Structure 1
Amino acid sequence: MSVERPITDAVFDFCGVLVDWQSHCALDGHVDAALVARICAPDDPYGFFRYEDLMDGGMRLDDVLPIVERDHGADIAAIYRYYIEHYGDALPATVDGMPQLLKDLKHASVHVWGLTNWADETFHFAFERFPELAELLEGTVVSGTERLHKPQEAIYRLAEERFSLEPETTVFVDDTAKNIAGAQALGWHGIHFTDAASTRAALRALGAAI
């Protein structure tokens, strides 16, 4: 693959791309194991992922808790509060190979940025647990802070303005197809993340000297 203009800016999602997110890790040992399994199941019967999505869009914990209690009762609401207050425990590690990839991009004079659907109240855990990411990334747009949400056009436009991005020389790396499609609709390049090695190869194909 050849490109007319090599990429100058790479924008990265967080959970599943830069940071390993394992929701059960915040509850293991504090909540009955069978209940943890149900809470963290793909069909999410207690709605934790939906409530997180509300917070990712800008709602505060104190606003979401009454909704949880209405839907599932006080006991589940208390568990959700614990989960959010101990969210850092759900972030056991960075994704293999990704900090080095960020370093290599910066060494190749490619700017690296973050763009994440993440609650304003819990995002601080990411940089507290992994300060290296805070040092490597030149800036991050957080959906819950901006009250915007991928794949809404406005959040990509905000990143363009804030980071002085040119769509044709910008690539977005995410593990969710609809979020990549949202960036591509605005002229960005897109990489569907599966692992660091394939992402590195795709970035090379876009002209990054890594």
Structure 2
Amino acid sequence: MKNIIFDIGNILLSFQPELYLEKHFSPPQMGDLMMIIFASDEWVELDMGTMMIQDAIDSLTLKHPHYHDEIISVLENWTQMLIPITENVEIAYELKKKGYHLYLLSNFHKEAIQTMYQQYDFFDIFEGGVISAEEKVVKPDEEIYTILLERYHLNPEESLFIDDSLANIKAGNRLGIQGIHLPYLANLKEELKKIGLL
């Protein structure tokens, strides 16, 4: 194994919108906003790179005028929900020190990923990455995995992919990439020890 590929959301950065919404809105509002924003076609289009944040705000406030101000507040500030998962970031540094090549493969909005790169210097240890909004394709579409493999000349049999979605792991498996399915807050160190990488 030479290459370790990391998802970002809930692997390197915690993304739990329910907790954020709970702090700022009443329970009925929270439930509505979860559906209106995070289960919307617009959210998918942000990941696809076919919409920017202002486009999503315009579209969603038009559809849901009774939540106009709340939608704007959430979408203008949603990157505050993204908090480093310290233990997994430390493991990434440990893997780098051991000589593994680190890469990113994530469904992520174009504007948000630039904010994260500027905010957190641990992204500097990654040699490259493929972000859905920049490629106009999202996991688990096999095309996004192929883009990563070809762009960085990676042998899939020498590559391990860590993601919180089983469907995303299975898509990588079909291309020969070994995977660790890591549900939110599962123990990454234990999983890596099981396969002899730590």
Shift of the alpha carbon at 1:126?
A: 2.2
Any conservation in 2 of the 1:101–1:196 contact (CA below 8 Å)? no
Flag as ranges the 4+ runs of structure 1 deviating above 6 A.
none
What is the CA–CA distance in structure 2 between the aligned matches of 1:99 and 1:18, rounded to whole Å?
A: 6
Q: Which amino acid aligns with 2:139?
A: K
Aligned counterpart, 1:128:
118
Identify if the C-alpha distance between structure 1 residues 80 and 199 changes in structure 2 by more than 3 Å, giving closer, same or farther: same
Q: 2:109 aligns with which of 114, 119, 123?
A: 119
Q: Which amino acid aligns with 2:72?
A: R
TM-score (norm 1): 0.81
Q: 1:71 aligns with which of 63, 66, 78?
A: 63
What residue ranges of structure 1 are gaps of 5+ in the alignment? 1-6
CA RMSD of aligned residues (A): 2.4
Q: 1:140 aligns with which of 129, 135, 138?
A: 129
| Secondary structure in 2 matching 1:118 | coil
Identity rate, percent: 24
How many correspondences in the alignment?
A: 196
Shift of the alpha carbon at 1:25?
A: 5.8
In the alignment, is residue 109 of structure 1 matched against residue 99 of structure 2? yes
What is the CA–CA distance in structure 1 between the aligned matches of 2:119 and 2:27, rounded to whole Å?
A: 25
| Secondary structure in 2 matching 1:150 | coil
In the alignment, is residue 84 of structure 1 matched against residue 75 of structure 2? yes
Q: Which has the higher helix share?
A: 2
Aligned counterpart, 1:165:
154
In the alignment, is residue 203 of structure 1 matched against residue 192 of structure 2? yes
What residue ranges of structure 2 are gaps of 5+ in the alignment? none
Shift of the alpha carbon at 1:48?
A: 2.9
What is the CA–CA distance in structure 1 between the aligned matches of 2:186 and 2:105, rounded to whole Å?
A: 21
Identify if the C-alpha distance between structure 1 residues 29 and 181 changes in structure 2 by more than 3 Å, giving closer, same or farther: closer
